[in-house]
Structure 1
Amino acid sequence: MCERGFDLDDRLRERRSRTLYRDLQPADAVGHSARFAPDPGADLPVIEPDHQLVFAANNYLGLAGDERVVEAAQNAADVVGTGAGASRLVTGDTLVHRDLESRIADAKGTERALAFSSGYAANVGTIAALDPDVVFSDELNHASIVDGCRLADADVVVYDHCDPSDLRERMSERRAEPVAAGDVAVPNGGADESWLVVTDSVFSMDGTIAPFEALADLAEEFGAWLLADEAHATGCFVDGGGIVQRAGLEDRVQIQLGTLSKALGSQGGYVAGSSDLIEFLVNEARSFVYSTGLAPPAAAAAGEALHLARTTDRRARLWRNVDKLRDGLEDVGLDVGGETQILPVHVGDREDALALAAALRDRDVIAPAIRPPTVPEGTSRIRVAPMATHSAAELETCIDAFAVAADEVGVI
C-alpha cells in the first residue's frame, strides 16, 4: 500500500539540523521574574528552584499579575462564568464584553470596538471579511496579517519596511496597470478596486514604528483604507492608546486593531472603528461569528488593565526602565536597535545569538534569540523587553549579565 501519511520525525530532525527547533519551557508564574522547567514532553514539569529575571515577555506594564486585574477576572468568573458558553451571536454576548468594548472605543477615539478571541483572530477575520482586491503590506508585518491576506485571496503588494516612498511607487504602479474595460484598456485606478494599506504600528522584532502620517496621506491620495495593528502599542502610549493616538490620527485610520494579551496582560483581540465597520464584522468576520465569545474573566481583566494603563504611573515607569536599560546595554558596547519598549540587541550570526541567549540564561536572565526565518539571514538578535515592574537593581542585573555573556560569546 502506498504510504500517504506524514514523516514528522524526519521533519523535526531537519528543523534540529538547521537550529530551528523550538520547545516549551513551563513557568510557575507570569511576571518580571519566574521559575522555569525544562520541557517535560508529556510528563508533568519539574520547576527549577531558582527564580530568573524575565526580559522576554510582552507583559510590558506588568499587569498580568496585578491584584486589581486578577480581582476583576475573579469577579467576572463569579458573576458571569468562566466561559462565554457560545458564540456571541448565540448566547455568549455579556455585559462584560460590552464594558470592555466601550473602554477600548474610548481609548482609541472611535465609535465602537469589537472583542475577538485573539489578536490573530481579529486580524485574520477582519482582513478576510473586508475581502480587498489589493493589500499593500509592510514587509515585516505579523504572520496574522499575512494569513489574513491569504484568506482574503487578495493581490498582495509588499512594500519596503516603513518606507512611504516605496509604498507610493507601488501604489502608482498598480494604478497605472492596464486592465480591460470593454474593448478598451484603462489604468487600474478606474477599475473600481478596493485597496487596503496594512501595517503594524510597533514591529515586534525590530521595535520600529510605522510612519502613520505619511501612510495616511498616501491612503487618502489613492483612495485606500488604512489598517493599523496596534498589538505592541496598545496601553503603552498616549492615554493608554497606541501610536495612532500619539500621532492624533484617529480620524484618518479606518481600522485600529490589536491584542489584549500584551501590555493589557489578558487574552483576546479587538477591532476599533466606525459603527458600520463593527456591525459589518459582527456579520461577516468568520473568526468572530464561528468562535465562542472571549472568556468573561479575560474580558474583565483586559478592561481593568486598560483602566490602569490610563490612570496610573505604569506607562511612565515602563519608559523610565526602557531608557535605563537601553543606555546600559549601549554603554556595554552592544548594538541596540528600535525606538520603543522593544530593544533588539543585534548580533548577526545565528549561532552567536543562540549562544548569547544560553549564556544569559546561565546568569538567570531570560531573553530569547530571534533568528531566521523569523528575521532575515544575518540579522539574528536578542529581543529584550523590560517591564514597568522591573526594579532598578533588576535592570542592573540584566545589564551586567549581558556584559559578561556578550564578552564570553565574543560579540563585543
Structure 2
Amino acid sequence: MEDRGFDLEDRLADLGEKRRLSPADRVAERGYFAEPTGGELPVLESAEALVFGSNNYLGLTDDQRVQDAARQAAATVGTGAGASRHVTGDTMVHRDVERLLAEANGCERALAFPSGYAANVGTITALEPDVVFADESNHASLVDGCRLAGCETIVYDHCDVDDLRSKLVERVEQPDGVVTDGGDESWLILTDSVFAADGSVAPLETISDLATEFGAWVMVDEAHATGLYVDGGGIVQAEGLEDQVHVQMGVLSAALASQGGYIAGSDALIEYVLARARPFVHSTGLAPPAAAAASEALHLARHSDARERLWENVSHLRDGLETMGFSVSGESQILPVTLADHEDAHALVRELTEHGIVVPPVVRPPTGPTTADRADAQSVVRLVPMATHDRDDIVACLETLQDASERVGLP
C-alpha cells in the first residue's frame, strides 16, 4: 500500500537551524542549565549562568510573595480549574485578577485566557473583522488569528504610519479619487506595542489617530509591555490612549511571572468575546495558582520599585553596549545588538553561552514587506536585563560580551 504518512526525517533535514531545549533548574536572573538532550534525562552544568534572555522582566517568578500567593490559591481553591470557565472552572481568583487587570489598563473589564496565544487568536476570530491592517512584524498569534478569522489582511511596513495611512486611503479611494467611508466593512488595525524581535515600540498615538480618522478599531498586543509602565500598565497607559484603543491584550507570563493572557476593554467587548471565542469557551480555565500569582505580581509591579530597578538596568546596559561601539536600536527593555553578518551573530551567541551568559536565539527582523527584504535583513543579538540583576551582573555581561566579540573577530 502507498505510504500516505509524513516523512519527518526529511522535513527535519530541511529545517536547517533547529530549536533546542536546554532545561534550567529555576526561572530567575541566574541558574544552572543542561545541554539539549532530546528525550533523555538532562544533566545540569556545574557552572551557574547569568540569564539575559528571559521575559521575566521584573524578576518576580521567584519572589516569595508571588510564590506564597500561588500556594495559597492551590490550597484554598485547587491546583487546576477543572473545566472551562463556562462550566465549573470560574473561580474567585479569576475574577480578582481580571478586576486588577481592568483597573491597571483603565478599562471596564478584563478577561483572562489560558495563554496569550489563545487570547489573540480567540479575540480576533470572535470579532471576525472584514479587513485587518497589520504591522508586518506582528506576533505569530496575531497572524494566525487573522488566518483563522478568514479576514482580508493588509500588511503595512513595520511601524510605518505613512504606509499605514496610504493603505487605509487606498482601501476607500474610488477610481475618481473620491474617498468614501469604506461601506459596511469592519476594520481592525492590529499591532504589537513592543516588538520582541527588535525592541521597537509602535507609534500608538499616531496609529490611534488614524483609526479615529478612518473609523477603524485598534487592537494592541502588549505582551512585552504589560506591567512595565505607568501604574503597572503598558505603552497604552504610558501614552494615555485607553480611550482610543478598543482592545488591549496582554500576558500574565512575562513581567507578571505567571501563565496566561488577557484582553481588556469595554463591558460589551468582554461579554461578546467570552461567548464567542472558541479558545476561551473550549479550554479549561486558567489554573487558579497562576491567576493568584499574576494578581500578586501585578500588585508588586504597581506598588514596588521593581519597574524602576528594571529601567535602571536597561539604561546601564544600553550605555555600556554603546560605549563598546555596538549599534543598539529600539526604545524598550529589549536591547538588540545589530550585526551585518548572520554567522557572526550565531558565533557571538555561542561564545556568550559558553562563557555563562544566556541570551535569546539570533533573529532577523524584517526590513520591508517582501520575503527578499527579510532574507537580506541584518541579524540581531538581543540582550534583556531583569530588575533582579545587580550592577555586578550588568558589568559581567558587558565584560563577557567584549571578550566574546574579540574572539569572534567583531570590530
For this structure pair, what is the TM-score category when the shorter chain's length is used for normalisation?
Answer: over 0.9
What letter is aligned with 2:139? H
2:41 aligned with 1:44 = yes
Percent identity between the two aligned chains: 58
What residue number does 2:370 align with?
Answer: none
Contact 1:347 1:411 in 2 (8 A): no
2:72 equivalent in structure 1: 75
The corresponding residue for 1:322 is 314
Give CA-to-partner distance per residue, 1:58-84, whole Å, 9 cap, x none.
000001111100000000000011100
- Partner of 1:183 in structure 2? none
Poorly superposed stretches of 4+, deviation over 6 Å: none
**Alignment partners' CA distance in 1, 2:6 and 2:216:** 43
Tell me if 1:263 matches 2:237.
Answer: no
Q: Quick one: which of 317, 336, 340 aligns to 2:328?
A: 336
2:2 and 2:366 map into 1 onto residues whose CA distance is 36
Partner residue in 2 for 1:409: 408
CA distance in 1 between counterparts of 2:366 and 2:387 reads 27
Structure 2 counterpart of 1:404, which letter?
D
- 3-state SS of paired residue (1:81): coil
SS at match of 1:335: coil
Question: Per-residue displacement from partner, 1:78-130 (whole Å, max 9, x unpaired)?
Answer: 00111000000000000000000000000000000000000110000000110
For 1:275, the equivalent position in structure 2 comes to 267
Candidates 149, 154, 158, aligned match of 1:152: 149
Contact 1:138 1:160 in 2 (8 A): yes
Amino acid at match of 1:385: V
Q: Work out the CA distance in 1 between the residues paired with 2:182 and 2:385.
A: 49
Pairing 1:221–2:218 present: no
Q: 2:191 aligns with which of 178, 199, 202?
A: 199
1:386 aligns with 2:385: yes
CA distance in 2, matches of 1:397, 1:334: 17
The alpha carbon displacement at 1:189 in A equals 3.3
Q: Tell me whether 108-117 or 206-215 shows the greater mean CA deviation.
A: 206-215
- 2:371 corresponds to: none
Q: In structure 2, the residue corresponding to 1:369 is in which secondary structure?
A: coil
Equivalent in the alignment of 2:19? 22
Amino acid in the other structure paired with 1:324: H
Deviation at 1:334, TM superposition (A): 1.3
2:278 is equivalent to residue 286 of structure 1: yes
Quote the Cα distance in structure 2 between the aligned partners of 1:227 and 1:141: 12
How far did residue 163 of structure 1 move? 1.3
Contact 1:353 1:371 survives alignment (8 Å): no
| 2:238 aligned residue | 246
Query: Matched residue of 1:189: which SS?
Result: coil
Contact 2:365–2:378 (CA under 8 A) maintained in structure 1: no
- Which deviations, in whole Å up to 9, do the C-alpha atoms of 1:154-191 show, x marking residues without a partner? 1100111111111110001011257xxxxxxx977342
**Which residue matches 1:6?**
6
- Secondary structure of the residue aligned to 2:68 is helix
Does the Cα contact within 8 Å between 1:208 and 1:340 map onto a contact in 2? yes
- Mapped to 2, the partners of 1:379 and 1:98 lie a distance apart of 45
Q: For structure 1, which runs of at least 5 residues remain unmatched after alignment?
A: 179-185
Q: What do you get for the CA RMSD once the two structures are aligned?
A: 1.6
After TM superposition, give the deviation of residue 246 of structure 1 in Å.
0.5
1:58 aligns with 2:65: no
TM-score, structure 1 normalization = 0.95
Would the alpha carbon gap of residues 373 and 219 (structure 1) be closer, same or farther in structure 2, given more than 3 Å must change? closer
Deviation at 1:399, TM superposition (A): 0.2
Please list the CA deviations of residues 236-283 of structure 1 after superposition, one character each: whole Å capped at 9, or x if unmatched. Answer: 011110000000010111100011100111000000000000000110
> What are the ranges of 5 or more consecutive residues in structure 2 without an aligned counterpart?
368-373
In the aligned structure 2, how far is the partner of 1:290 from the partner of 1:37? 36
- In the alignment, does 2:172 pair up with 1:175? yes
Matched-pair contact (CA < 8 Å) for 2:365–2:380: no
**Which residue number corresponds to residue 227 of structure 2?**
235
Give the counterpart letter for 1:335 in structure 2: S
State the AA in 1 paired with 2:329: G
Assess if the C-alpha contact under 8 Å between 1:74 and 1:297 holds in 2.
yes
- 1:222, distance to aligned residue in structure 2 (A): 0.6
SS at match of 2:181: helix
Mapped contact 1:73–1:300 kept (Cα < 8 A): yes
Which of 68-77 and 375-384 deviates more?
375-384
How far, CA to CA, are the matches of 2:163 and 2:202 in structure 1?
Answer: 13
Which residue of structure 2 aligns with residue 304 of structure 1? 296
Residue of structure 1 in register with 2:118 after alignment = 121
Other-structure match for 1:182:
none
Deviation at 1:401, TM superposition (A): 0.6
| Corresponding residue for residue 87 of structure 2 | 90
Q: Quick one: distance in 1 between partners of 2:73 and 2:161?
A: 44
Instruction: Indicate the larger mover: 368-377 or 312-321.
Output: 368-377
Aligned positions, number: 404
How far does residue 371 in structure 1 lie from its aligned partner after superposition?
Answer: 3.0
On the 8 A contact 1:337/1:344 being kept in 2, the answer is yes
CA distance in 2, matches of 1:151, 1:356: 38
Letter in 1 for 2:114: S
**AA matched with 2:304:** T
Q: Does 1:31 align with 2:28?
A: yes
Tell me how far 1:15 sits from its aligned partner: 1.8
Deviation at 1:392, TM superposition (A): 0.4
2:171–2:182 contact (8 Å) kept in structure 1: no
Query: CA separation in 2, counterparts of 1:42 and 1:161?
Result: 39
**Residue 13 of structure 1, CA deviation:** 1.4
User: TM-score, normalising length from structure 2?
Assistant: 0.96
| Partner deviation per Cα, 1:18-55 (whole Å, 9 max, x = no partner) | xx211100000000001000122111111111110000
How far 1:368 moved relative to its partner? 2.6
What is the CA distance between 1:135 and its match in structure 2?
0.1
